[in-house]
Chains A and B, each alone.
Chain A
Amino acid sequence: MRLSQSNSRTPFGRIFNDKLAARSFLLAASFPLLVLLFMAGALLLRTLPIFQFVTPWEFLTGDLWRPSQGEFGLSTFISGTLWVTLLALVVAVPPCILTSIFLVEYARRGTLRGLLPVIDLLAGIPSVVYGVWGVLVVVPLVPRLGQFLRSVFGDLPLLTSSNPTGFSILAGGIVLAVMISPIIVSITIEVLRSIPQGVREAALAVGSTRWQAVKHAVLPNALPGIIAAAVMGLSRAFGETLAVMMVVGNTAAIPRSVFDPGYPLTALIANNYGEMMSIPRYDAALMGAALLLLVVVIVFNILSALVLARVSQGARS
């Protein structure tokens, strides 16, 4: 059979439709990236005016937030965010790793198949529900925990507070820990499952126990992926607003103890945006806080995506 010598016999419409389809798919596919760029660009533009008042360094490290007097220092809020995120990771990561190891390495296939949808469901619960649960359950428990620790260990740095309520960075951390657990567990499960069975068998074939195989053969291979899972959870915790805001106390002071209240960046923006029209540059300062969150989350996500890509590549080779 001969190919037709030119496209002249192919109806013009077909080619046109093909190109149109390709272009529109490209456009649709690039949409998320465009949204991101627009968002970052808009935030940056709106942030710039604040730097006529304060230097970027003062903006990030200053600890006075008095918009009415033109003082915009974010460090209390940055420390609130860091505290809450760090506590969430400390509370969430160890049990999540153990859960994942159990489900992949020890439990029967059916248990994993049955539990995965439940874990995904947890990730889909609206954050306000977690917030309400935090207020009703976690907040009342926190002071009791504080009293208990005090009665056992006496006064300890980071664990002693004069805050009588449970609204604290610890409550925020616990609520966040529960919220980010599904992400960490499901990514860690994927990472563990991507480790070839042959690696386990290599250890088992010389008479190791299951735990020895997990410890010496599986976990070292999975470690970068597990770290990436924790970072994914971290960036979710970093950006979470509503649930944290409901339990963290929202007091603009640097916490001295996990039982002290704090005021994360996200809560600052959510609580104040829309109410600051009378104060010049307030708007720009809040945009700056938002930009900071956006940049940090993007950086974390890129890092963990890179690590996860390397892990799954390693599993294939």
Chain B
Amino acid sequence: MDSHISIKDLNVYYGDNHALKSVNLDIPRNQITAIIGPSGCGKSTLLKTLNRFHDLVDDTRVEGEVRFDDIDIYAPDVDVTEVRTKIGLIAQRPYLLPMSIFDNVAFGLRIHHITNRREVKGQVEKYLQLAGLWDEVKDRLHEPATSLSIGQQQRLCLARGLAVEPEVLLGDEPTSALDPISAKNIEVSLQQLKSQYTIVIVTHVLRQARRLADHVVFMYLGELVEAGPASKVLKSPKDPRTKAYLSGEM
């Protein structure tokens, strides 16, 4: 397996709470990896170690190694903004920046000093297309982003994340706040994107994992219980805890 991200002996502590216990995991390149498990099991915690979002919270300690290609993203000489550029995140709810539709997508380009107007315009169009939103917004690009429906807002966030050209896309239950049709749109986009991106999503919807995932990671109480190809983990789990969760007993 060609692994894009490789996690070794990863521990996360929130104060005294040992939230992630000795996790080892390889995340395959250009596939969709779904992290599943009951709530509070450490799914989001694991995901947020990948773009160093734990840096933002006091009293959170991350120990271990997260290798992105050959670089440990927690190494002291690594620029965290570069990590987050290469490893993008789509949040649970669409959080917009207080600016227009166009500027939301252009934001990432501008902070990375791409200011050539034609280039910015081209990129914005390209990524709105890729997120499946272009046709709906092309005539109203300069309206405030808040004028969009919540499903459109989430696709806008997807376009914003894509515009800085990450290699990995993280999704923290990216469809959980959406109606079924909007959720479907996001899922379709993710399916299309996986040929170019490594995608990791957290989901509490088993059916979504079944629909999307090539690779499944099952977490329980801060431990990584089982990980492997979706066909194996979802159809013939080895661990009794995975079995119990998949059969709905958890």
Contact = CB atoms under 8 A, between A and B. Distances in A.
B16 interface: no
Contacts of A108: 58
Contact of B51 (A200, A202, A205): A205
Contacts of B97: 199, 202-203, 216-217
A127 B168 CA distance: 58
Contacts of A207: 81-85, 108, 111-112, 164
A212 B112 CA distance: 11
Interface in B99-136: 99, 107-108, 111-112
Contacts of B59: 109
Given A108-B58, A109-B58, A221-B98, A206 B88 contact: yes
Contacts of A221: 98
A206 to B, nearest CB: 4
A206 B164 contact: yes
Contact of B84 (A197, A198, A206): A206
B96 A201 contact: no
Contacts of B88: 205-206
B161 to A, nearest CB: 6
B93 A198 contact: yes
B143 to A, nearest CB: 16
A220 interface: yes
B93 A205 contact: no
Interface string B56-68: 1011000000000
A209 to B, nearest CB: 6
Interface string A169-194: 00000000000000000000000000
A277 to B, nearest CB: 58
A201 B56 contact: yes
B132 to A, nearest CB: 19
Interface in B151-172: 157, 160-161, 163-164
Most-contacted residue by chain B among A197, A201, A209, A217 (CB, 10 A): A201
B111 A198 contact: no
A206 B107 contact: yes
A222 to B, nearest CB: 10
A24 interface: no
B149 to A, nearest CB: 14
A221 B144 CA distance: 13
A203 B107 contact: yes
A198 B90 CA distance: 11
A208 B95 contact: no
A204 B95 contact: no
A206 B58 contact: no
A197 B111 CA distance: 20
A126 interface: no
A110 interface: yes
Given A206-B84, A207-B84, A220 B95 contact: no
B80 to A, nearest CB: 9
A140 interface: no
B91 interface: yes
A202 B95 contact: yes
Interface of B: 51, 53, 56, 58-59, 81-85, 88-89, 91, 93, 95-99, 107-108, 111-112, 157, 160-161, 163-164
Interface of A: 108-110, 196-209, 212, 216-217, 220-221
Given A198-B93, A216-B107, 14 more contacts: A108-B58, A197-B56, A198-B91, A202-B96, A202-B160, A204-B53, A204-B56, A205-B88, A205-B89, A205-B91, A208-B108, A216-B99, A217-B98, A221-B98
21 contacts: A109-B59, A201-B53, A201-B91, A202-B95, A202-B97, A202-B160, A205-B51, A206-B84, A206-B85, A207-B85, A207-B108, A207-B111, A207-B112, A208-B81, A208-B108, A208-B111, A209-B81, A216-B97, A216-B107, A216-B111, A217-B98
